[in-house]
Amino acid sequence: MSTPLSPYHLGKARELYNLFNVFNALSWSFLTGNIITLFAMRLDASSTYLGGISALLYVAYFFLPLGKVLAKRFSIIKIFSFTWVSRALSMIPLLFVPLVVAAGHHTLALQLTLLGVASFHVIRGVGMIGNNPVLSNLAMGPDRSGYMTQIQIINSALGMFAGFIIALFLGREPPLYLYSIIMAVGISSGIFSGVLMQKIPEPPVELQEKTSSLFAVIKQAFSTPSLRQFIYILFLVALVSGVSRSFIIVYSRDVFAQSDGMVALYTVFGGLGNLLIGLVIKFLVSRIGAKPIFIICVLIGLAGMFPIVFIPQSLSDNFTTLVLLLSFIFFILNFGFLGSEGIAQTYFLGLVPMELMMDMGILYFLVFGVAGAGGSFATGLLLDFLRDFGVSVATSFKVLYLILVLMSFLALFLQKKLVPLGALPFRGALEVMFSFRDLRAITLLDRLEKTKDSEEEAALLEALHDTPSQLALKGLLDRAKSPRLAIRMEAFRAMEALDVLSEEAEKALMNDIIHNPFTTAYISARILGKHRVFAAVPLLRELVNSQDYMLAGEAIIALAKLKDEAFRPQIQEIILQTTNPRLKIMGVEAFGIYRSPHSLSVLLDILRAADPPPYLWDEVVLAMAGILDIHNEFYPLLIRFLEDSSLAPALALDEAEAAYEYYQATHGGWFRRRRASLVFSNKQAKALQPAARALIKESQGAPLSRWIQELPEDLSEPISQAVLAEAVLCEELMAFERLRLLIVQWASQMLRVWTTKLKGNH
HEC string of 614-665?
A: HHHHHHHHHHHHHHCCCHHHHHHHHHHHHHCHHHHHHHHHHHHHHHHHHHHH
In a domain, 338, yes or no: yes
The pLDDT score that the predictor gives to residue 250 is: 85
The pLDDT score that the predictor gives to residue 743 is: 92
DSSP 704-742: HHHHHHTS-TTTS-HHHHHHHHHHTT-HHHHT-HHHHHH
Is the pLDDT assigned to residue 341 strictly greater than 80?
yes
Q: Which of 50-64, 170-184, 448-462 has the lowest mean pLDDT?
A: 448-462
- Whether residue 426 contacts residue 413, with contact meaning beta carbons closer than 8 Å, is answered with no
Q: Give the whole-angstrom CA distance, residue 575 versus residue 381.
A: 87
- Of 366, 342, 339, nearest to 222 by C-alpha is 366
Which range has highest mean pLDDT (76-90, 411-425, 442-456)? 76-90
In a domain, 231, yes or no: yes
Q: What is the CA radius of gyration of the chain?
A: 39
- DSSP symbol at 6: P
The pLDDT score that the predictor gives to residue 726 is: 92
CA 634 to chain centroid, in Å, comes to: 43
Residue 344 belongs to domain with CATH number: 1.20.1250.20
- Of 586, 584, 594, nearest to 562 by C-alpha is 594
In a domain, 290, yes or no: yes
CB atoms within 10 A of CB 259: 16
Alpha-carbon distances of 501 from 257, 423, 468, 486, 498, rounded to whole Å: 59, 17, 12, 22, 7
Tens-place pLDDT, residues 522-543: 999 999 999 999 999 999 999 9
The pLDDT score that the predictor gives to residue 331 is: 92
- Whether residue 217 contacts residue 363, with contact meaning beta carbons closer than 8 Å, is answered with yes
Confidence of residue 669 (pLDDT cuts 50, 70, 90): low
Q: Give the whole-angstrom CA distance, residue 312 versus residue 229.
A: 37
DSSP 682-707: HHHHHHHHHHHHHHHHH---HHHHHH
Q: Give the whole-angstrom CA distance, residue 398 versus residue 112.
A: 32
Mean pLDDT of the chain: 84
CB atoms within 10 A of CB 145: 22
- Whether residue 335 contacts residue 277, with contact meaning beta carbons closer than 8 Å, is answered with yes
The pLDDT score that the predictor gives to residue 513 is: 92
The pLDDT score that the predictor gives to residue 610 is: 61
Tens-place pLDDT, residues 577-596: 888 888 988 999 999 999 88
Domain count of the chain?
Answer: 2
Vertex 121 angle, CA 26 and 91, to 5° = 60
Amino acid letter at 97? V
- DSSP symbol at 289: -
Q: Give the whole-angstrom CA distance, residue 420 versus residue 347.
A: 9
In a domain, 609, yes or no: no
Confidence of residue 141 (pLDDT cuts 50, 70, 90): low
Per the model's pLDDT, the better-predicted residue between 165 and 629 turns out to be 629
Per the model's pLDDT, the better-predicted residue between 164 and 299 turns out to be 299
Amino acid letter at 761? N
Tens-place pLDDT, residues 279-296: 788 778 877 888 899 999
Q: Give the whole-angstrom CA distance, residue 480 versus residue 520.
A: 9
In a domain, 584, yes or no: no
Per the model's pLDDT, the better-predicted residue between 746 and 452 turns out to be 746
Which range has highest mean pLDDT (42-56, 225-239, 358-372)? 225-239
As to burial, measured by CB atoms within 10 angstroms (0-12 exposed, 13-18 middle, 19+ buried), residue 636 is: exposed
In a domain, 276, yes or no: yes
In a domain, 38, yes or no: yes
Whether the model pTM is above 0.75:
no
In a domain, 561, yes or no: no
Give the residue from 386, 405, 431 where a domain finishes.
431
Tens-place pLDDT, residues 72-93: 888 888 898 899 999 999 999 9
Give the residue from 401, 431, 461 where a domain finishes.
431
For the chain, the residue count is 762
Question: Which structural domain range is residue 744 located in?
Answer: 646-761
**Four-CA torsion 351, 235, 57, 185, nearest 10 degrees:** -50
List b or e across 268-292, with b for residues whose CB sees 16 or more CB atoms inside 10 angstroms.
bbbbbbbbbbbebbbbbbbbbbbbb
Q: Give the whole-angstrom CA distance, residue 58 versus residue 220.
A: 23
Give the residue from 403, 431, 459 where a domain finishes.
431
The pLDDT score that the predictor gives to residue 557 is: 93
CA 82 to chain centroid, in Å, comes to: 41
Mean pLDDT of 461-486: 82
Tens-place pLDDT, residues 688-700: 899 999 988 888 9
